[in-house]
Amino acid sequence: MSQEDFQKLLKRVQQVNDLGGAAALLGWDQRTLMPAKGSQPRAERLATLAGLIHQIFTSDETGQLIENSESFINSVDRESFEASLWRIVKRNYDKQKRIPTELSEDLQRAANLGYDAWATSRAASDYSQFRDALKRNIDLNKQVVSIHREAMPDVDDDYDILLDDYEPGMKTSDISRVFDRLKEATMPLVQQVAESGVNGRDTLVHVHFPTATQDALVRKVVGQLGFTEDAWRLDTTAHPFASSMAISDIRITTKFEEDYFNPSFFGTMHEFGHGLYERQVAPSLGRTPLARGASMMWHESQSRMWENLVGRGRPFWTWAMPVVQEHFPEQFGGTSPDAMYQAVNAMGPSFIRIEADELTYNLHIIIRFELERDLFSGKVTVDDLPDAWNAKIREYLGVEVPNDAQGVLQDVHWGSGSFGYFPTYALGNVLSAMLWTRIRDENPNLESDFEKGEFGGLRTWLGENIHQYGSQYLPMDLLEKVLGVREIDAEPLVNYLTAKVNDLYG
Amino acid sequence: MSQEDFQKLLKRVQQVNDLGGAAALLGWDQRTLMPAKGSQPRAERLATLAGLIHQIFTSDETGQLIENSESFINSVDRESFEASLWRIVKRNYDKQKRIPTELSEDLQRAANLGYDAWATSRAASDYSQFRDALKRNIDLNKQVVSIHREAMPDVDDDYDILLDDYEPGMKTSDISRVFDRLKEATMPLVQQVAESGVNGRDTLVHVHFPTATQDALVRKVVGQLGFTEDAWRLDTTAHPFASSMAISDIRITTKFEEDYFNPSFFGTMHEFGHGLYERQVAPSLGRTPLARGASMMWHESQSRMWENLVGRGRPFWTWAMPVVQEHFPEQFGGTSPDAMYQAVNAMGPSFIRIEADELTYNLHIIIRFELERDLFSGKVTVDDLPDAWNAKIREYLGVEVPNDAQGVLQDVHWGSGSFGYFPTYALGNVLSAMLWTRIRDENPNLESDFEKGEFGGLRTWLGENIHQYGSQYLPMDLLEKVLGVREIDAEPLVNYLTAKVNDLYG
């Protein structure tokens, strides 16, 4: 009976997953192709789907099927498809079931209003238009935290609960340890770059690049990395993202800026990294919540690996330089691979996270992590936030924020009710460096392959060691499986950044 | 309390409509942009949505709400939004309630897999790759027919039941009457064209037309007709169709053939006609089943009107000829509007329905109508079908089908499980001619407006007299409202075709 109940549970989960897939397409279309006037009916359609997904997934019937199939699950291999699926379903069910429908709707509404308030206030660079919407989002998320807190008395830190949505099982104390080390090692390197007196290396990526040629170039590059027309699409959007309709139907997006080479070139490699993760999940996990990355940190480790460890590395440019020159003979006719390597690695403090170099990027994240904790502990109030932000930017990056649009209002996350998400970006960088050490050890020809434009070795290694498992393992279990450790370690990233700064600004 | 129940029913109907809208996007994407390997998971997703829509819509709760709101409906105006919606919901509920959810999911799955089998087999011109998928679709639809038949003992003909999905209330006997008259009047005209000895007028539309220029041209033309970027999209596909995501989000599609001018030019005008119908539905009908055309015949009357009565008419070419010349100066530099009018109206028997002239088109439909009836009565089996097809083409059109791709495999409908749909194309032609007589009477400047590229008068007339009502009226009720009659009459089309043949081949 118990096995039959599991089959019923699986069918229910597939149904919910199909609805989620439909919502994913509605969202993808909304952000890429939809005519402007489709916006209002699309929002209604997405709200209906979200409500229905929540209703079906958190129904008592789902709970009963989870309970009834437990004895079957206890009889099968812990690492089997069935056990992995059952665990993730039970985990999500228990979490979602705790939140009353009314609070869930309030959260959704506050996130929608918060997004609008954010967009308006950012355009006007006026924090006062954002303040109330932000406060509402924080207050509601505090309610969520206290509800979960009551059910999980052994949690060390309230912030762990916020993290859990994006990075299951991650502890705030682990992040603090890693980030402290990163901060300590990064700040002298930022100083070293500043004192080198080198600048202006990136002028060559700031000339004119016609959109159609950028489009042809990025298609050529991701085609070389592993993008195939039969299972991927590349479209344009205002804020690039990757999304999967199925393991065999991956949608990545990019944005072309005619006066800046980097955004589409590295942005597309970044989204390719996300897409490849979901493309290489084992087909047997399809139509279930296992058919996605293990966590946001794991996802970012993949996107940042292709963007930075591959795309901003010397070996890559040996292959890529002639390709780029073919597309942009006037802009890059006389550019050597080494000059290009220097240009795309130009470093220095800036206000905007998404435009930051590999070194200062993590400082931007650490600032957000610290402020999120202070906002939830009450150490910083919503009214104090802009000053607190500017003080941190001054302290960590040595620059003065000119206005709130380029400061506290630059990111969409808080307005949309996402707290605990930011740290996963820097953790992804840390993890990508940890993995890179192992990948290079096990693939001695990796860099000479890159010089020839061969990326199949890396792709296969990632597929076999990470991607195929989807989210069958919790993040730290996957780490142990892949690297044999259970702790995130900042040293490989510190070593990588130190070597890179010495190489470029030594 | 009855009014409250109606509000609950409305909310439920909106939810189902949102799910239907999600399915529409999944279907549109599948046929326009989806990578090939997305096909299998997409079929599953569509099947889940169809099942869920069926389950929610046909639930006892829906039935209860319909019943409980009846007294409220009896107290409001028969033509009100509430009464119209209630009627269509009750009609659909009673019909769908009879189909078990499992059969409904099987139908959806068979239709999606049938679409793929059709595309593959057509590309290979190999009927054997299509046969099983077709048989599956026919068998499932036979089940549907026998279920409805049992509940509707007063139906004259099994085929009425297939028709009812596309043309509510239409009788097979009415179609036979109209088609017999059409066949009787058309065959001598086909003979007259053949005996005129005129041919080769269309060589000028059979030279080389680069895709990119065709694309620019059709966008220019539909832009003039009323397509706007903020509420419409035009994409390419294998078998063009129109679809609406919302009243304010219309998707039309086309197909470019580099050696033939007509398919994209007239095909896009055709789909524009469909799109305009749904674009001009009153916004108050949004998110309900009233926000679509009254029936397929009504829909086709609109698409064929823009394609033929507008696009293949003399006045249109006075405006369009210079526009076409601007895009294709080499191909059409010395072509007069009159020569173009003759070229795009070249008549004669052919294999392909969608490329047929106005005269032989209806014969293609009559062939399909007869074969569908024979397939469902068992007079023709799936194995006999290609031979039966070829024999009918020989009998009605006097030509030999060279291969199945240009014969029985040319249309998507049967593979997608659509039986009873084809007749609505010819009925649409008949209706468009009925309407055209009235429209010309009420708009004396219509043709001189077309000569100037002004189509707003026609658009407005159609919006006010037909489109705004969506499917508030049953097809014959709408006919009575618009034209004051309750019977489909072949004479206006016969007169139009006779005059056209005399004009061109007199």
pLDDT at A116: 85
Chain A residues with CB under 8 Å of B287 CB are 41, 44
Query: Which residue out of A10, A12, A16, A29 would a mutagenesis test of the B interface target, given it has the greatest number of B Cβ atoms within 10 Å?
Result: A29
* CB B474 within 8 Å of CB B168: yes
Phi-psi region of B382 (alpha: psi -120 to 50; beta: other; left: phi over 0): alpha
- Interface confidence, given as ipTM, is 0.92
The burial of A38, by beta-carbon neighbours within 10 Å (0-12 exposed, 13-18 middle, 19 or more buried), is given as buried
Amino acid at B375: L
pLDDT at A288: 97
In whole angstroms, what is the distance from residue A360 CA to residue A365 CA? 9
Binned at pLDDT 50, 70 and 90, residue A503 comes out as very high
A271 is an active site residue:
yes
Q: Does the pTM of the predicted model rise above 0.80?
A: yes
| Average pLDDT score over residue span A368-380 | 97
Place of tokens 């307005």: A415
Distance from CA of A33 to the nearest CA of B (A): 8
Residue B44 touches chain A, beta carbons under 8 Å: yes
Chain A residues with CB under 8 Å of B14 CB are 44, 48
What average pLDDT is seen over chain B? 95
In what helix (H) or strand (E) does residue A91 lie, and over which residues does it extend? helix A81-98
Per the structure block, which two tokens stand in for A39?
């916006």
pLDDT at A1: 65
Q: Do A37 and B245 touch (CB under 8 A)?
A: no
Residue B24 touches chain A, beta carbons under 8 Å: no
For A177-200, how does the pLDDT look when each residue is reduced to its tens digit (9 = 90+)? 999 999 999 999 999 999 998 888
Percent of chain A with pLDDT over 70: 100
Q: Assess whether pLDDT exceeds 70 at residue A82.
A: yes
Query: Would you tell me how many other CB atoms lie within 10 Å of the CB of residue B283?
Result: 10
Task: Identify which of A153, A462, A160, A86 has the alpha carbon closest to the alpha carbon of residue A303.
Answer: A462
What average pLDDT is seen over chain A? 95
In whole angstroms, what is the distance from residue A371 CA to residue A141 CA? 15
* CB B50 within 8 Å of CB A83: no
The burial of B207, by beta-carbon neighbours within 10 Å (0-12 exposed, 13-18 middle, 19 or more buried), is given as middle
Catalytic member of B105, B271, B300, B372: B271
Amino acid at A258: E
- Secondary structure of residue B234 in the 3-state scheme: strand
Residue B248 touches chain A, beta carbons under 8 Å: yes
pLDDT at A104: 87
For B28-45, how does the pLDDT look when each residue is reduced to its tens digit (9 = 90+)? 999 999 999 999 899 899
Please, what's the b/e burial string for B433-450 (b: 16 or more CB within 10 A of its CB; e: otherwise)? bbbbeebeeeeeebeebb
> What does the DSSP 8-state code read for residue A361?
H
Task: Identify which of A1, A169, A122 has the alpha carbon closest to the alpha carbon of residue A409.
Answer: A122
Per the structure block, which two tokens stand in for B58?
């046909």
Residue B257, beta-bridge partner list: B260
* CB B240 within 8 Å of CB B206: no
Q: Assess whether pLDDT exceeds 90 at residue B64.
A: yes
pLDDT at B156: 83
Q: Do A22 and B21 touch (CB under 8 A)?
A: no
Residue A40 touches chain B, beta carbons under 8 Å: yes
**pLDDT top residue among B414 and A151:** B414
Task: Identify which of B453, B447, B448, B441 has the alpha carbon closest to the alpha carbon of residue B482.
Answer: B441
* CB A238 within 8 Å of CB A31: yes
In whole angstroms, what is the distance from residue A367 CA to residue A417 CA? 18
Number of H helices and number of E strands within chain A?
A: 22, 3
pLDDT at B101: 82
**pLDDT top residue among A389 and B154:** A389
Show Cβ contacts of residue B195 under 8 Å, excluding neighbours closer than 6 positions: none
Nearest CA in chain B to A22: B22
Catalytic member of A82, A271, A300, A372: A271
Q: Which of B:270-289 have CB within 8 Å of A?
A: 286-287
Binned at pLDDT 50, 70 and 90, residue B1 comes out as low
Distance from CA of B139 to the nearest CA of A (A): 26
Residue A50 touches chain B, beta carbons under 8 Å: no
Chain A residues with CB under 8 Å of B36 CB are 230-231
Chain B residues with CB under 8 Å of A49 CB are 18-19, 22
Binned at pLDDT 50, 70 and 90, residue B108 comes out as confident
DSSP track, A106-157:
HHHHHHHHHHHHHHHHHHHT-GGGTHHHHHHHHHHHHHHHHHHHHH-TT-S-
pLDDT at B390: 97
Number of H helices and number of E strands within chain B?
A: 22, 3
Show Cβ contacts of residue B430 under 8 Å, excluding neighbours closer than 6 positions: B178, B182, B488, B489, B490, B492, B493
pLDDT at B51: 87
For A436-448, how does the pLDDT look when each residue is reduced to its tens digit (9 = 90+)? 999 999 999 999 9
Q: Is the C-alpha dihedral spanning A26, A28, A31, A36 positive or negative?
A: negative
